[in-house]
Structures are given as C-alpha cells and as structure tokens.
C-alpha cells in the first residue's frame, strides 16, 4: 500500500518547488520526446524502404504520436516556479510543438498508407531529435 | 532413432519456449539504455535457472512429485501457505502480462487496438489448455517460438561494431546519463525475467505430466544443458539488436513496436513477420505455462488431483483454478493498465520472490527420502547455495531500488 | 495394515503428507490428525483419523494465515457441516513418503468439494470426460 502511494506521489504534477526540480523534469521531457522522435525516424526509414508492413508502421507511428503528446501534456501541466523556469519552458515548447505536430502528421499519413508523404513530413525529425537531446544533456 | 527425435524435440522446445514477454521487455529495454553492460546478468540468470531446473526435473523424475508439491512437507503448512500466496500472486501477474503481450503482438500486426484482442486471447488460451494434450501444447508453441532466432541473424545483418559490442559486454560500465541505482534496478529486473518462478513450477510439474522416470534423467540434463543456454542466447540477441539500433538513437523502448524495429530494418517484411510470429508464439506459450502453473501451485499445496495427464473431470478443482486464473488475468489487462508496465512489475516482483521458489528446490533435491542415490553432489550444492545467497541479496534490494529509481523511470 | 500402536513422529512423518488412494489418485493432504486418548492410559494418544480440508488446516495453522484460510473456505463450502472431513485411520495402507490408502477417493468424506466442483462447473464444459491423449 505504501509502495503504491509512493509511486503515485512520484508521478504527481502541479506546482514544483525548486527550479532545479523543474529543470530536471524539463530535461526528462526532452529525453522522452527525443526517444519518440527517433523511433518515428526509424519507422519512417523502414516504411520508405518497404521493410515493414503498412499496419505495423501505422501502429508504431500512432504510438510515437501519442507518447509525444502525452509527455507534452504532462510537462505543460507543471507550473514553472520562477522566471528562469518560465524561460526554460518556452525554450522547450519551441521544440516540443513541432515534434508533436510532425509526429501527428506522420500518424495520419501512415494510416492512409501514404509513404511518399511520410518521407517528406519526416525531414525535420533528425534535426529536432538532435536539438531535444542537446536540451536534455544541457539541463540534466 | 526415436529417442534422438525426442531429445531434439525437447531441446528445440526448451529453446523456443525460454523467452516470454518479461524477457522481451527486459532485454530490449536494457539493451537500449545500457547497451551490453548488463549482458553478464543474462549469463548469471540463465546459469541459475539451468542449475535449479535440472534439480527440479531430477526431483520430479525420481520421486514422481513436483517440487511445489513437496514444499509443504518440507517447510511446513504455514511456510508453505505463505509461499503459495506469494508464488500464486506473482504467477497470476505474469499470466496477465503474457495475455497482454499476446494482444500487443496481434495489435502490432493488425493495428487494431490490443484491448479488443484481450478477451479473445483469454478464451483461446483457456480452450487450448482445456483441449490440447500437454506435449502437443508444449512442443507446438515452443517450436514456433524458434522464429525468434531471426533476432540472432539480425545482429549480423546490422553490421555492428563487433569490437565495441564485445568491449561493452566484457567491461560493463554505466553509460552517461544513467545512474548506478538504475543500473542495478535493471539488473534485478533482468534476473527476475530470466529466473521467473513459474518456469520452475512448470518445468517440474511438466516432468510429472510427461511421466518422466529415472531413465529420462538424460533427457532432463540435455534439455537443460543445451536448450536453456540457447534460449538465453535468444534473449541476448534481443538485447544486442536493441543495443545496435536503439541505443545510438536514444530510443527508450516502451512498446513492442520498438523491440521489433531492428529486425524490420535488418530483414524487411520477412524478418518482421518472423519476429511477430515468434513473439506471439512465445508469449502465448508462456500464457499457457503460467495459467497451468497457477493451477499447479494451488492444487499441489492442498493435495488435490492436478494435471492434464488425467481427465478434466478427475481434476475439477485444478481446472477451476486454471479457469479462474485466466479470467482474473484477462480482467486485469482489461483495466487498461499498460501491459509493458505490468510486465515490468511482474518481473521485478518475481525477482523479489526468487528465494521462496528456489530454496525449496535445493532442500528437496538433497533429501534422500525422495531422491535416493540421486541427491545433489557437493559441487552442485555449493553452486546452488552461492546462487541462493545472491537471490537473497537481490530480493532484499528489489523494493528499495524500485522506490529510489521510480521503477527505472 | 499398520500394526496397532506403531510409534512414529507424527509431525515429521505424517502431517502435510500427500494422501494417495487405491487407484493412485491424489486425495488431499494430511491437514490435521484426530487424536483419541487410549482407554488404558489417558496420557497415551492414538491417531484415530486423518483430518483433511481447509477447516482442518485452518485450525492447525492458527494466526492470520489460518483465519484467512478459514474465511475463504467458509465461503466455498456447500454443506452446513461444521467438522472437517475425516479419514478413519483404518483405511491407511502404508505410510511412506506419501500416505497410501486402501480405498478409492470417492468413498472418502474429503472428496465432497471435489465432487461439488465436478458437478457444478466442470461437468458443464464439453470434453470434461475425455481421456487425456
């Protein structure tokens, strides 16, 4: 019972006391988003080289879109405790927004089986993944 | 000749049946986050289960009784009941995880939501357990599970930096960005997945189901000494492919799709199809093993008639427990708990409970009343005792690490 | 048939042992023992019956586990009988690593719940009576 409580508490959102904690949550968010973006990249690579089934690619890209959306939602629900954290938040949002919308577009294209569009839509992903990883390392 | 076929079949079934959803999740996640820095844990875990499975099989062959049956006689009714409650609960969690795993595999192939498959999976698992003879069931899913060997071939196809891989495996270090507590948490999870309690219950009860006698000791040894390490090799292959493809990209896998990506990139649609078939077969097979193990443990504690070697009407309470377990597992998955997270909890809790399962095996294998002249040798006792001490340490460390690392998050 | 008055350590050699009937089928475990004082010397106790079933086991375990077991078993019982199932010691054929009996399990009181499970649930499922392949 105590264990369950501890686990629930550790996942709670809401205002955060120190900017240090906020910073590490931001880094974590960047890391998880980078993971989703990288997965999408690999999935698109497989799809465009005809190395995967349409349905499997659709499933994979649906998952990455959902994961990125969830992670962004959780991060946005945390209130930045000070001005520095505010700046951090807008910095990260500049990366999260295009990532999430690109992944959502990929999900739609994959559902339609539109492989040509997928390659085009996925073009900015590599750079985005790099930027997200840099953010994570800088604020870990 | 017939004997040779039988031995080969046993070995192949042991290989294909070794991996379950716990191994898939643990090996893939570990490979993606730590490269091969935890490969040694797979070696330790596989060796551990080899030692104790051989003992459990020997106990069943000589005494005609599975180990759990003898737990109550050896440890007393109270200890035995505590053991039963813990073992049953963990096996039930694992059953739910396997049912979830089967549904996820189908979802990955069809893109239809896994929750819609869960009730169907539960029903089919029960029908197979009810109708199929033990050996047919065991062999079928074990052999189809061999499709996972595609992961082994994928390693070559992906042209890895062999020297780098070898170095990472032989000189384990915690990568940048990961903490030491997380490293040990993953080590424990990996160990729990390799030495899962239900595998001992199933292996030893299965030996009685198949009516092993003294003459089958050689089959027992062969299955264990050849089948299990090769099975462990498949888990290692999952870890390797994740280390080669996922780790450099910073992918932290939380879906089955990510586990299959490396094979997809290496071999295309054929490889992916084999991977999906292999994952389906081994998780389905494990679902069969865990639901039967739920029945075995309860029936063997209370002394009820159990087993598929008698008519269902002759073992009604056993079959009721199996049926209720499948129902409970299915319902648990239907609560929409993330099946991958459920798997993680099941392997970690299994790690915490390992001494409960393995101590009785060691005690019984040394008992001359049951074993006659086939008791453990001094050497195997020494080795087994060392393992038990290790498992005790693991057991004590599990919950604190779980809390400190927030379940490896 | 065991000679009357054979002495053995009931705790080690009898309790929690598997009962096996005359057909080789498993018939429960020795959950508890019924002890009757001898007529000559009340301090000498004879084992007159084996008691089996969750009621018997719960009584012996005591403590929290025993209570848990008792609550669960009380919910599952179909008879109003209070006392645990009794296997008279006369049907015991041999005491080895398991306890072999002279009779088939259908003749024992311990088979009540098994028969209930068979009739209520298992018999309703197709294939319950099919021989194992």
The interface predicted TM-score (ipTM) is: 0.91
Does the pLDDT value for residue A92 go beyond 50?
yes
CB B58 within 8 A of CB B217: yes
Question: What is the rounded CA–CA span in Å between residue A51 and residue B249?
Answer: 19
Of A31, A53, A133, Cβ closest to residue B272? A53
| H or E element, residue B192 | helix B180-194
3-state helix, strand, coil in chain C (%, to 5): 35, 25, 40
Non-local (6+) Cβ contacts of C112 within 8 A are: C78, C79, C85
Smallest CA–CA distance from C11 into chain B, residue: B76
**Regarding the domain with residue range C10-124, which homologous superfamily does it belong to in the CATH classification?**
PRC-barrel domain (2.30.30.240)
CB atoms within 10 A of CB A118: 24
Instruction: Indicate yes or no: CB of C128 within 8 angstroms of CB of B63.
Output: no
Cross-chain Cβ contact C129/B311 below 8 Å? yes
Domain assignment present for residue B385? The answer is: yes
Per-residue pLDDT, A5: 55
Q: Is C75 on the interface with B (CB under 8 A)?
A: no
Q: Which residues pair with C50 in a beta bridge?
A: C33, C87
DSSP assignment letter at C18:
E
Beta carbon pairs, B and C, within 8 Å: 86
Of C27, C121, C132, the CB nearest to B309: C132
Of B110, B249, B268, the CB nearest to A51: B268
C52–chain B Cβ distance below 8 A for any pair: yes
Position B199 in a domain = yes
The domain spanning residue B235 has which CATH number? 1.20.1740.10
Domain range annotation of chain C: 10-124
Nearest CB among C17, C52, C121 relative to B73 is that of: C17
Task: Find the closest chain B residue to C32 by CA distance.
Answer: B77
Q: If contacts are CB pairs under 8 Å, which of residues 120-179 in chain B contact chain A? A: 177
- Check whether C81 has a pLDDT greater than 60: no
Burial of A28 (0-12, 13-18, 19+ CB in 10 A): middle
Name the strand (E) or helix (H) holding A89. Answer: helix A83-112
- Residue A106 structure tokens: 């990929």
Flag whether residue A33 sits within 8 Å of chain B, measured between CB atoms. Answer: no
Confirm or reject contact between A35 and chain B (CB < 8 A). yes
Tell whether B296 lies on the interface with C, counting CB pairs under 8 A: no
pLDDT tens per residue across span A15-46: 667 888 899 999 999 999 999 999 999 999 99
Number of domains in chain B: 1
Q: Which residue from A minimizes the CA distance to B112?
A: A59
Q: What pLDDT was estimated at residue B226?
A: 93
pLDDT at B3: 78
User: CB atoms < 10 A from the CB of B99, how many?
Assistant: 31
Phi, psi of B317 (to 5 degrees): -65, -35
Q: Widest CA span of chain B, in angstroms?
A: 59
Could you give the CA distance from residue B90 to residue B125 in angstroms, rounded to a whole number? 19
Tell whether B260 is within 8 A of chain A (Cβ): yes
Parent domain of B133: 2-404
Residue C6 clears pLDDT 70, i.e. is over it = no
CA distance A27 to chain B (A): 11
Q: What is the rounded distance in angstroms from the CA atom of residue C96 to the CA atom of residue C113?
A: 26
Q: What Å distances lie between residue B399 and B63, B404, C24, CA to CA?
A: 36, 9, 44
Query: Does the beta carbon of B249 lie under 8 angstroms from any beta carbon of chain A?
Result: yes
Give the closest of B311, B323, B370 to C132, CB-based: B311
The confidence score (pLDDT) of residue C76 equals: 61
pTM listed for this prediction: 0.92
- Partners of residue B303 in chain C, C-beta under 8 Å: 18-19, 26-29, 52
Residue B409 lies in a domain: no
Local confidence band at C73 (pLDDT 50, 70, 90 cut-offs): low
pLDDT tens, per residue, chain B with 409 residues: 567 888 888 888 889 889 999 999 999 999 999 999 999 999 999 999 999 999 999 999 998 889 888 888 888 888 899 899 999 999 999 999 999 999 999 999 999 999 999 999 999 999 999 999 999 999 999 999 999 999 999 999 999 999 999 999 999 999 888 889 999 999 999 999 999 999 999 999 999 999 999 888 888 888 899 999 999 999 999 999 999 999 999 999 999 999 999 999 999 999 999 999 999 999 999 999 999 999 999 999 999 999 999 998 899 999 999 999 999 999 999 999 999 999 999 999 999 999 998 999 999 999 888 888 888 888 889 999 999 999 999 999 999 999 999 888 7
């Amino acid at each position: 019972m105590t264990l369950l409580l501890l686990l629930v508490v550790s996942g709670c959102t809401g205002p955060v006391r120190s900017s240090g904690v906020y910073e590490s949550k931001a880094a974590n968010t960047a890391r998880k988003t980078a993971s989703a973006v990288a997965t999408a990249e690999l999935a698109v690579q497989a799809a465009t080289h005809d190395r995967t089934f349409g349905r499997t690619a659709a499933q994979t890209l649906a998952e990455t879109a959902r994961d990125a959306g969830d992670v962004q939602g959780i991060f946005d629900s945390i209130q930045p405790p000070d001005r520095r954290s505010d700046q951090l938040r807008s910095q990260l949002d500049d990366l999260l927004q295009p990532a999430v919308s690109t992944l959502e577009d990929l999900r739609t294209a994959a559902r339609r089986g539109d492989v040509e569009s997928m390659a085009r839509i996925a073009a900015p992903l590599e750079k985005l993944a790099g930027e997200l990883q840099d953010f994570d390392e800088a604020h870990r | 000749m017939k004997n040779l076929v039988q031995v080969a079949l046993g070995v192949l079934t042991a290989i294909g049946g070794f991996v379950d959803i716990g191994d898939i999740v643990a090996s893939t996640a570990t490979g993606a986050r730590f490269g091969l820095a935890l490969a040694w844990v797979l070696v330790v875990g596989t060796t551990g289960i080899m030692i104790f499975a051989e003992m459990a099989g020997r106990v069943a062959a000589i005494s005609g009784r599975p180990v759990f049956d003898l737990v109550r006689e050896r440890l007393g009714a109270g200890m035995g009941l505590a053991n039963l409650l813990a073992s049953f609960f963990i096996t039930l969690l694992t059953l739910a995880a396997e049912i979830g795993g089967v549904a996820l595999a189908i979802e990955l192939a069809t893109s239809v939501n896994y929750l819609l498959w869960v009730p169907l999976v539960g029903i089919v698992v029960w029908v197979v357990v009810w109708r199929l003879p033990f050996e047919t069931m065991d062999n079928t899913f074990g052999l189809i599970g061999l499709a996972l060997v595609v992961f082994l071939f994928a390693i070559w196809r992906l042209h890895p930096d062999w020297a780098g891989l070898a170095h990472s495996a032989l000189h384990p270090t915690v990568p940048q960005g990961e903490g030491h507590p997380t490293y040990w948490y993953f080590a424990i999870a990996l160990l729990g997945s390799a030495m899962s309690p239900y595998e001992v219950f199933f292996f030893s009860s299965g030996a009685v189901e198949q009516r092993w006698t003294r003459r089958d000791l050689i089959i027992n040894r062969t299955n264990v000494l050849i089948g299990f390490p090769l099975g462990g090799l498949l888990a290692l292959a999952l870890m390797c492919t994740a280390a080669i493809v996922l780790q450099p990209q910073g992918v932290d896998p939380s879906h089955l799709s990510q586990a299959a990506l490396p094979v997809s990139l290496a071999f295309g649609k054929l490889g992916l199809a084999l991977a999906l078939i292999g994952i389906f077969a081994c998780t389905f097979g494990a679902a069969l093993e865990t639901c039967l193990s739920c029945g075995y443990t309860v029936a063997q504690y209370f002394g009820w008639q159990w087993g598929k070697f008698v008519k269902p009407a002759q073992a009604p309470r056993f079959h009721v427990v199996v049926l209720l377990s499948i129902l409970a597992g299915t319902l648990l998955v239907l609560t929409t708990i993330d099946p991958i997270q459920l798997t993680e909890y099941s392997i970690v809790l299994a790690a915490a409970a390992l001494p409960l399962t393995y101590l009785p095996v060691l005690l019984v294998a040394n008992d001359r009343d049951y074993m006659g002249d086939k008791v453990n040798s001094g050497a195997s006792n020494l080795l087994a005792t060392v393992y038990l001490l290790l498992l005790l340490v693991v057991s004590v460390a599990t919950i604190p690490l779980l809390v400190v690392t927030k379940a490896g998050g | 048939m065991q000679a009357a008055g054979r002495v053995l350590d009931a705790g080690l050699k009898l309790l929690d042992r598997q009962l096996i009937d005359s057909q080789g089928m498993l018939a429960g475990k020795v959950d508890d023992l019924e002890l009757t004082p001898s007529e000559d010397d009340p301090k000498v106790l004879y084992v007159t019956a084996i008691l089996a079933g969750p009621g018997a086991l719960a009584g012996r375990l005591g403590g929290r586990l025993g209570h848990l077991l008792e609550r669960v078993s009380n919910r599952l019982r179909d008879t109003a009988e209070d006392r645990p199932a009794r296997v008279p010691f006369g049907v015991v054929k041999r005491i080895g690593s398991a306890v072999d009996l002279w009779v088939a399990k259908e003749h024992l009181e311990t088979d009540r719940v098994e028969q209930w499970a068979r009739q209520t649930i298992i018999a309703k499922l197709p294939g319950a009576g099919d021989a194992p392949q």
